[in-house]
Amino acid sequence: MKKKKIISLLLLLPLTIWLVAFALYPILYGLRLSLFNARINNIENPTFIGLQNYIKLFSNSEFGQALLWSLKFAIICTFIQMVLGILISWLFQRDFPGKGLATTLILMPMVVAPFLMGTMFRLLFNESVGPIAYLLSGLTGTTALLGMAWVNPTIIGADTINRMPFVFINMYSAMQGVPQELLEAATMDGANAFQKLIHVTIPTISAIFGITFLEKLLQSFLIFELIFAMTAGGPGTFTQSVSIFIYRRAFQRSDYGMACAASFALALILLVPSLYLVRRTTKGDK
């Protein structure tokens, strides 16, 4: 029995080493840095300033606004993308010609890096010459998709194109696992396709549904590359997500201590939903 335990630990060792070296060590390093006034010009011997960075962070309304914006964005995006993801995978439960190709095409947005896609969206949504802005102008009544009035919906739309495929592939593969007998039984009872979705499919996949939902929520909350490319958080701080806030502190102002403090404040805020999610994810495996 003891031997077994040793073997189990040995098997875990490589992954553990990796996590300690490249995750735990940077985290502790950053935690320490958050207590210092650390900038590139004094990085060799930064000044210890205790909790000053945290005090400054929370006394400045900008961080709170960024959190709030991210929260709103995450809720809206998650809602839209979950609904779409489920509806589309539900559509894909039946057979139709070209299904394989269609699945591939739906997954295609995953193949472009979000940062690059965001930059191209700057052109495609451009007010003067953007092809997509032009196509959409019938719906929106304007091509100024990155103006004050439309910038939030535009970012939400771009994120949906970019990340809905993730929801789709999760939901679609989960639905593949729904036992056929359950669905047939429901058909016998006279349920229509939509009723089957609500009463049979979704309850059966509720576990993976919950996980995907929370994961999507956290992902959207932390959105960075797409916004960085499209608006850089502007106009002003109007679309500044919390990741953009940290990025600007860290890389545009090289205020490392503050950036680390903001990162840890953020990590603490996210810890509760994350832990809950981790418990849900790992529970089924025990």
Partner 1 sequence: MKKVLVALLIVAVLLCSAPMAFAADDLYTVRMVYWPGPESDAMDVVLNYWNENKAQEAGFYVEQELFGRDNILLKEEALMAAKSPDVDLFFTASRWLGKYWMHMEPLQQYLDNPEINIYGADTEGRIPATVDGFRWLDGTLYGVPMDLSNHFLYYRSDLIDELLSNEEWQATYKKIASEQLGKELEPKDPADWTWDDYLAASFFFTKAYNPDSPTEYGNFTHGKVMGPTAFLWTNCYWSFGGDWFDADGNVAFDNDAARQALAVWKTSFEKGLTPESSVNGEFAEDNEAMIAGQCAMTVHWNAGYATINAEESPVHGKIKVCAPPAGPEGHFAYNHTLGVGISKYSEHKEEAARWAAWLYTDEAAKLYAEAGGIAPSKAVLADMSDQFPVYGYMVDVLNDCGRNLPPTAGIIEDMACGLLADAWNGVIDFDTALAQLQAEATEEMSYWQ
Partner 2 sequence: MSRKQKKRLSTIFTVIAVILIVIVLDIGLITNVLTAFKSPFTISSTPPKWIFKPTLDNFRNVLGKGSFDFRLYLWNSFIIAVISSAIAIVLTIPAAYSIVRYHGVGDVILGSTMLLRLAPALAFAIPVFLIFNRFKLLDTKIAIIFMHTLFITPTSLLLFIGYIQDLPKEIEEAASIDGANTIQILTRVLIPVLLPGIGSTAILGFITSWNEYLFSGILSFKNSITATVGTSFFITSYAVEWGNMAAAITLSTIPTALFIFIAQKSLVKGMTAGSVKG
Residue 107, phi-psi category: left (phi > 0), alpha (psi -120 to 50), beta (remainder): alpha
186: nearest Cα among 205, 174, 200: 200
Please give the span between the terminal C-alpha atoms of the chain, in angstroms, as a whole number: 19
- Rank residues 59 and 285 by Cβ distance to partner 2 and give the closer one: 285
| Contact between 243 and partner 1 per CB under 8 A | no
| Contact between 30 and partner 2 per CB under 8 A | yes
Site for partner 1 (CB under 8 A): which residue of 120, 129, 198, 207?
A: 129
| Contact between 165 and partner 2 per CB under 8 A | yes
Site for partner 1 (CB under 8 A): which residue of 77, 124, 230, 242?
A: 230
In whole angstroms, the minimum distance from the beta carbon of 44 to partner 1 comes to 7
Picked from partner 2, partner 1, none, the partner binding residue 253 (CB below 5 to 8 A depending on kind) is partner 1
Whole-number Å distance between alpha carbons of 100 and 109? 16
| Contact between 128 and partner 1 per CB under 8 A | yes
Picked from partner 1, partner 2, none, the partner binding residue 8 (CB below 5 to 8 A depending on kind) is partner 2
| Piece of 89-97, 180-188, 199-207, 245-253 that binds partner 1 (CB under 8 A) | 245-253
Task: Give the ranges where the chain is alpha helix by DSSP (H).
Answer: 2-19, 25-33, 52-59, 61-91, 99-107, 114-124, 131-140, 151-176, 180-188, 193-196, 202-204, 206-221, 225-230, 242-247, 256-283
| Contact between 131 and partner 1 per CB under 8 A | no
In whole angstroms, the minimum distance from the beta carbon of 252 to partner 1 comes to 4
- Rank residues 76 and 161 by Cβ distance to partner 2 and give the closer one: 161
| Piece of 54-62, 182-190, 230-238, 275-283 that binds partner 2 (CB under 8 A) | 275-283
- Rank residues 22 and 238 by Cβ distance to partner 2 and give the closer one: 22
* Tokens linked to 132: 């997509």
| Piece of 48-56, 61-69, 232-240, 252-260 that binds partner 2 (CB under 8 A) | 252-260
Whole-number Å distance between alpha carbons of 249 and 71? 20
Core vs surface per residue 242-263: b (16+ CB within 10 A) or e? bbbbbbbbbeeeebbbbbbbbb
| Contact between 59 and partner 1 per CB under 8 A | no
- Rank residues 43 and 55 by Cβ distance to partner 2 and give the closer one: 43
**Tokens 């106009």 map to which residue?**
235
* Tokens linked to 150: 């439309």
CB 130 within 8 A of CB 143: yes
